[in-house]
Structure 1
Amino acid sequence: MRVTLLGTGDTTGTPTVGCDCDTCRAARERDIERTRFSVHVENERTGESLLVDFSPDFRYQFLRDGVSLPDAAVVTHIHFDHLDGLGNVFRIFDDIEVYAADETDPETGKSVAETVRDDYHYLDPVTVRPTTPLEPIRCCGFDVTLVPVDHPPLVCYGLAIEDPETGAKLSLSGDTSYDVPRVSRDVLADADLLLADGIVPANLCEHHPLGGRHEDADGVPQTFGTKHMTREGALALADDLNAAQTRLVHVAHYYPADEAFEEPLAIDGEEYVL
């Protein structure tokens, strides 16, 4: 299993357009970037590849990193920074299967699968495969399981991707607060590599209108506002899941410049062989 981090940034990416903060300046000076979130997972046994989320930066990411076009994809939720790149399949793909959860979202009245199908009905290459969370499917030679996480107000899902032949396992927290259900944690546990949403350091919760949530025993917030984990929350989740290696993704440019590119924060283009 070869994992390429195509996009490791949050909804605005780093550098952020029009921003001259110390972190964005440092990223430009060092030629480092975090485009909007997407992960490419290649099955070297079968020659197939799976894409997790369609970043709006799809075209640029694939040209930059030179990875193969995916044979199938998974959409974790319907926020634009995870979905709107799907339009890039036009005139590029003959066909692609897109897996998405089949649970109805009370907020929208549709499942993620239904939203993808309806919003991109004009894309003939796309076949949407409604998928039941917590029930593994076989895709690109991998066993893929969607797991519910906590990203209000919309439903959102993490993922476990396992190679049944080699035992290699990749887990993704999805966009989530620290309040990941126990049943989902059990599926995500014991990964060789965990990609965990760690949008900002916990001390920045004081600047969020809603502050922080899910404080640990020392009072450190593990959730920034309601939707994303802090760095500290992501690392606590990694410990709970017994991840062999962890990279923090969905990273915002609000990290101070002297912390923004330190371990274990990921940057675009990182590659892992599991």
Structure 2
Amino acid sequence: MKIRFLGTGTSQGIPVIGCNCEVCKSLDFRDQRFRTSAHIEINGKSIVIDTGPDFRMQMLRAGISHLDAVLFTHEHKDHTAGLDDIRPFNFRQNRDMPIYGRQQVIDQIKREFSYIFSEVKYPGVPRVITNVIDHAPFEVEGIRVTPIPVMHHKLPVLGFRIGDFTYITDANFISEESKKLIQGSKILVLNALQKTAHQSHFTLEEAIEQVGSLNVEQAYFTHISHKLGLHQEVEKELPEGIHLAYDGLVLNLP
């Protein structure tokens, strides 16, 4: 399994428009973050988690020319807004794109991209096959995926476990039942927005505490805001086995 971080930033990305803080002005490529998304290659299959506003540039930058499916964690725009840009995959592969999400996610996508689902379609619109998922494990192109229910303030969000890899973004609460599904992962990706308290995201300290309770070999933090600090400085503060992810980082699992 190969995991590529396509984006590791929060909803505004980094740099933030009009901001002159040291993170937004940083020349370190690790401080320049697209909206959060990940690409997984496993058993010859290509899967993306979330299609945010930067999806087109993420595909180009990573050189991804084939895509088998899209998994959606939740319906917020910074995770869905780039869906229209699956069109080149429709054309290249001559097939509709399977997308997976909870019922409320699929419903939101149908509202925001109504032209995709209209009875009379404009030529060239994206072609999708919607698949409603909930808490039960499901298969994507023969790959078993286990949903991990978490809470994003009052909004239900799904993380996903594929083999020994678990991916969770936009969360500030993980139930004991969900923790059992994460236990034993070799790699955990978890959101860590900033150092100060936030109503719907784990802070850096909270994310570290979560990792300590989950019995995982390695953890990488994502969905990072410019308020967290410079990558090179925050990385030095982290316990052994925990790292900040950055755009373009590639991880490999046997």
TM over 0.5: yes
Q: Does the aligned pair in 2 maintain the 1:7–1:35 contact within 8 Å?
A: yes
Q: Does the aligned pair in 2 maintain the 1:101–1:146 contact within 8 Å?
A: no
Mapped partners of 2:58, 2:88: distance in 1: 17
The one of 113, 120, 123 aligned to 2:113: 120
Moved over 3 A (4+): 260-263
The one of 220, 223, 239 aligned to 1:250: 223
- Identify the range of structure 1 (82-91 vs 116-125) with the bigger mean alpha-carbon deviation: 116-125
Taking structure 1 as reference, are residues 68 and 2 closer, same or farther at Cα in structure 2, changes over 3 Å only?
Answer: farther
Amino acid at match of 1:170: F
How far the C-alpha of 1:64 sits from its partner, in A, is 0.9
Question: How many residue pairs end up in the alignment?
Answer: 233
Taking only aligned residues, the RMSD between alpha carbons, in angstroms, comes to 1.7
**Residues 25-60 of structure 1, C-alpha deviation per residue, up to 9 Å, x if partnerless?**
12xx223321101000001x2x21111011210111
Mapped partners of 2:133, 2:114: distance in 1: 18
Mapped partners of 1:187, 1:141: distance in 2: 20
TM-score, length basis structure 1: 0.80
Q: Do structure 1's residue 241 and structure 2's residue 217 form an aligned pair?
A: no
SS in 2 for 1:190: coil
The residue that corresponds to 2:186 in the other structure is 192
The residue that corresponds to 1:105 in the other structure is none
Q: Do structure 1's residue 146 and structure 2's residue 164 form an aligned pair?
A: no
Of all paired residues, the percent bearing the same amino acid is 30
- Identify the range of structure 1 (263-272 vs 121-130) with the bigger mean alpha-carbon deviation: 121-130
Q: Do structure 1's residue 71 and structure 2's residue 68 form an aligned pair?
A: yes
Taking structure 1 as reference, are residues 91 and 2 closer, same or farther at Cα in structure 2, changes over 3 Å only?
Answer: closer
Taking structure 1 as reference, are residues 68 and 140 closer, same or farther at Cα in structure 2, changes over 3 Å only?
Answer: farther
The residue that corresponds to 2:21 in the other structure is 21
**Residues 49-103 of structure 1, C-alpha deviation per residue, up to 9 Å, x if partnerless?**
111011210111111121343201111111111111111123442311111013x
How far the C-alpha of 1:153 sits from its partner, in A, is 3.4
Taking structure 1 as reference, are residues 86 and 260 closer, same or farther at Cα in structure 2, changes over 3 Å only?
Answer: farther
SS in 2 for 1:256: coil
TM-score, length basis structure 2: 0.86
Mapped partners of 2:88, 2:113: distance in 1: 14
Mapped partners of 1:7, 1:95: distance in 2: 25
The residue that corresponds to 2:99 in the other structure is 98
Q: Does the aligned pair in 2 maintain the 1:49–1:140 contact within 8 Å?
A: no
The one of 49, 53, 56 aligned to 1:56: 53
How far the C-alpha of 1:146 sits from its partner, in A, is 1.7
Amino acid at match of 1:13: G
